[in-house]
Amino acid sequence: MNETTEPEEAAARLEAGRLLFAKPWTFARGVANARGLPASDGIEVAFAGRSNVGKSSLINALTGRKALARTSNTPGRTRELNFFTAGAGLTIVDMPGYGYARASKREIAGWTRLLFDYLRGRANLRRVYLLVDSRHGLKASDSEALDVFDQAAVSYQIVLTKCDQLKPDALTKVLDDTATAIAKRPAAYPEILSTSVTTGTGIPELRAAIAALL
């Protein structure tokens, strides 16, 4: 009987992720309200996080496309749910950023309503990846987002971004503090991923994690 070693299993997961994201990803649609949501076909994963945390840049890094998701130095640029697909049974959703101080109360209310409608109405939403800037760790607005995901019973996983800008000891502390903060949250996936779109750190592992959901 042949037994697969752990390194071989890890390599197989990474290869599955590479193949999934090597496909030609395209922008499918932007959705500004619940009426525009597409049919719940296949598996969806969504990316959430504070404004300017790097969601669009991470999606571009995952898919190997420089401008699939529009990036901007202006916080609050993404104001719709943006859907991306490669026809592989998987759809990626870029959610509007939160925590943008200059947004009006009306804008914030609109974004919040859209996110609630999306979370409640997507039976095929397999996981939300909550991006957290590793330089700052979890902020109050991140904790509020985690409360929403817990209430909606949506599985979510923390992804630290911009990890190349921290020294190893500082990154370890952020990982430990974040793990402690989510330890008792019912919908939190316990493994925390560390990434950098600048160096490519953690990108293959995130691809593999998403591919495993299929």
Read off the pLDDT of each residue in 43-63 and give the average, rounded to a whole number: 92
| Residue 96 pLDDT greater than 90, yes or no | no
What pLDDT, on the 0 to 100 scale, is given for residue 75? 43
Higher pLDDT, 115 or 187: 187
The C-alpha atoms of residue 106 and residue 53 are separated, in whole angstroms, by 22
Mean pLDDT of 188-213: 96
Helices (H), the chain: 6-21, 55-63, 105-121, 140-152, 168-182, 203-212
Summarize the confidence of residues 128-136 as an average pLDDT: 96
Domains for the chain: give ranges and CATH numbers: 6-212 (3.40.50.300)
Higher pLDDT, 66 or 43: 43
Averaged pLDDT of the chain: 88
pLDDT at 53 over 60: yes
Model confidence at 87, pLDDT cuts 50, 70, 90, reads confident
Q: In the prediction, which pLDDT does 1 show?
A: 47
CA distance 96 to 113: 11
- CA separation for the pair 139, 29 (Å, rounded): 30
In the chain, % of residues over pLDDT 90: 61
